[in-house]
Amino acid sequence: MHKIFMRLAYILGENPPDRAPRRSRCSNVPLMSDDRPLERMKERLSPPPLPTDDRGRARLVLDTLILHLHPARIPKRTLRWTYTWGLGGLAGMLIGILVTTGIFLEVRYTPTAPDAYLDILNLRSDVWFGDLLRNIHHWSANLLIVVAVLHLLRVFFTGAHRPPREVNWLFGVAMLLLVLAANFTGYLLPWDQLAFWAITVGTSLVSYLPLIGEPLGRLLLGGPEVGPTTLLNFYTLHISFIPLALFGLMSLHFWRVRKDGGLSLPRRAGEALEGTPERVTTIPHLVRREGIYALVWLAAIVLFSIFVSAPLEGIADPGLSPNPAKAPWYFLGIQELLLHFHPFVAAVVIPGLAVTGLVLLPFTDVDTSSVGIWFRSARGRSIALFSAGLSLLLTSAWVAADEFVIRWTDWLPNWPSILSNGVVPLAAVGLVLLALDTWVRDRLDGNAEERVLFLFVFLFVALLVLTAVGIWFRGPGMELFWPWAMPAAT
């Protein structure tokens, strides 16, 4: 069996290291010893002797597989932990864990109500390691969102979204949206109260899309509200279209990293890059590190999943709405916006502007002179820190003020609410951002990239604050409470 596999690998293009074909000097194309087709065929179909020991055989397959993902040699400085933090690789590994555990979970799952819920109960109590499998799937999915966002931040803060990596940034944005979609569709599958009402709140956001909101909502839900057809629709999306698209994009993303000349090169502020960076072989330098990192994370995820169970409430009851009914945590920032803006502005305009901003970013922020330097410079680091602190203060103050003091609709009683509660507050926020940007430009003498950095950090921290308020500070009636004085949900 081994022999057949090795022979196949050889025929399909893998060359054992002990008889690599001669290669042209100016390209990587192997030179054929003879241009007669029969000779060529014979040469191709009769591989040289294969390694005879198990270790040699395993190495042959593994090495050639790894070299499909990585180049044979990489610049030594890209091995620095403090540059990538291994976040892209970790995201890839989490996707792998999710696919593997997902396939096992699927064996014991029926996407109909109430069987879906009963299957989960059954999985937890009657299937060997069923509970652990579900926990690993659940926590890996949540971790993936955090890791993908951290990876996006690392790429932005080191300027790695700039030319020539703009297209890969776009693939990344699409992958992040798909990761959110995968999480959201998976959220409904246990068919418990938590899932049912979170998806009810989450999908209600779609209805605010102009013109297509209503039909799109119906298409997604398979009816006017969340029900058994929604479960089937979400299941289908969750196990077929979304993973397929994610896998396709992930392949493109990895391929582009290589096409763009490998990772951007890390440097310290003020450090010049040498002409030809020192290179080391991928095997073992990079692969060994990746292996250790992956094993440590795998162990951490399994340990965490042994001790912390994925949530499961009572079976979904469409007649019993919990108070408060919250969307999944990663959409709580948007749900929080709904409490401050007209729904169209909160659910469509602001998220639309955010995604558009992410798409346009690599085409507007293009100065390549600081690529590879965390926060562009020492000054950039201070600006980013200052922006984060300011946003923390201003966003929290605005949430409190809007809750207790600001009454746009009372102050503009005759205006349609899309204006009084939508356009006017949005314009007010826009003016504050404009004023801050002008201040960074004039008072801090900020250049273009420092202004982009300031705004990006400000908006990102604002999103974090809104999400944190939604998770920990909103209680019954979606009113504000201190977390330690939070009344029990009903």
Q: Which stretch binds ligand HEM (CB under 6 A): 41-49, 167-175, 197-205, 444-452?
A: 167-175
What does the buried/exposed string (b/e) look like for 101-117 if buried means 16 or more CB atoms within 10 Å of the residue's CB?
bbebbeeebebebeebb
The binder of ligand HEM chosen from 116, 199, 206, 250 (CB under 6 A):
250
The binder of ligand HEM chosen from 176, 188, 242, 423 (CB under 6 A):
176
The binder of ligand HEM chosen from 6, 120, 143, 155 (CB under 6 A):
155
The binder of ligand HEM chosen from 16, 172, 243, 446 (CB under 6 A):
172
Rounded Cα gap, residues 263 and 243, in angstroms = 25
The binder of ligand HEM chosen from 152, 194, 338, 440 (CB under 6 A):
152
Q: Hey, is 305 helix, strand or coil?
A: helix
**Contact track, ligand HEM, 406-445, x by CB under 6 A:** ----------------------------------------
Q: Which helix (H) or strand (E) holds 75?
A: strand 73-75
Under rule CB under 6 A, which residues in 177-236 are in contact with ligand HEM? 179
By CB under 6 A, residue 446 contacts ligand HEM: no
Minimum CB–partner distance for residue 401 and ligand HEM (Å): 33
By CB under 6 A, residue 452 contacts ligand HEM: no
Residues 6+ apart with CB under 8 A from 69: 254
Nearer to ligand HEM, 51 or 71 (CB): 71
Under rule CB under 6 A, which residues in 326-355 are in contact with ligand HEM? none
Cα angle vertex 51, ends 46, 55, to 5°? 145
Nearer to ligand HEM, 178 or 338 (CB): 178
Minimum CB–partner distance for residue 144 and ligand HEM (Å): 7
Cα angle vertex 220, ends 215, 221, to 5°? 100
| Two tokens, residue 42 | 């014979």
The binder of ligand HEM chosen from 160, 226, 338, 468 (CB under 6 A):
160
Minimum CB–partner distance for residue 83 and ligand HEM (Å): 8
Query: Can you point out the beta strands (E) in 155-253?
Result: none
Contact 306, 132 (CB under 8 A): yes
Residue 335: count of CB within 10 angstroms of its CB? 27
Under rule CB under 6 A, which residues in 70-99 are in contact with ligand HEM? 84, 87-89, 91-92, 95
DSSP 342-403: -HHIIIIIHHHHHHHHHHHHHHH---GGGTTSTTSSHHHHHHHHHHHHHHHHHHHHHHHHHH
Decide: residue 291, CB within 10 A, 0-12 exposed, 13-18 middle, 19+ buried: exposed
Nearer to ligand HEM, 148 or 461 (CB): 148
By CB under 6 A, residue 168 contacts ligand HEM: yes
Compute CA distances 168 → 171, 178, 194, 242, whole Å.
Answer: 5, 15, 36, 19
The binder of ligand HEM chosen from 98, 175, 316, 337 (CB under 6 A):
175
By CB under 6 A, residue 151 contacts ligand HEM: yes
Q: Which stretch binds ligand HEM (CB under 6 A): 42-50, 100-108, 146-154, 299-307?
A: 146-154
Q: Which stretch binds ligand HEM (CB under 6 A): 13-21, 110-118, 249-257, 316-324?
A: 249-257
Whether the bond between 351 and the residue before it is cis, its omega within 30 degrees of 0, is: no
Count of residues engaged in binding ligand HEM, rule: CB under 6 A: 26
Residues 6+ apart with CB under 8 A from 91: 144, 147, 148, 151
Minimum CB–partner distance for residue 327 and ligand HEM (Å): 21
Please give the residue whose beta carbon sits closest to ligand HEM in the complex: 172
Minimum CB–partner distance for residue 32 and ligand HEM (Å): 35
Minimum CB–partner distance for residue 186 and ligand HEM (Å): 15
Under rule CB under 6 A, which residues in 257-276 are in contact with ligand HEM? 257, 263-264
By CB under 6 A, residue 143 contacts ligand HEM: no
The torsion region of residue 390 among left (phi > 0), alpha (psi -120 to 50) and beta comes to: alpha
* In the block, residue with structure tokens 């308020």: 469
Nearer to ligand HEM, 91 or 116 (CB): 91
| Two tokens, residue 250 | 């992930």
Rounded Cα gap, residues 98 and 243, in angstroms = 10
Nearer to ligand HEM, 19 or 76 (CB): 76
- Binding-site ranges for ligand HEM (CB under 6 A): 84, 87-89, 91-92, 95, 148, 151-152, 155, 160-161, 165, 168-169, 172-173, 175-176, 179, 250, 253, 257, 263-264
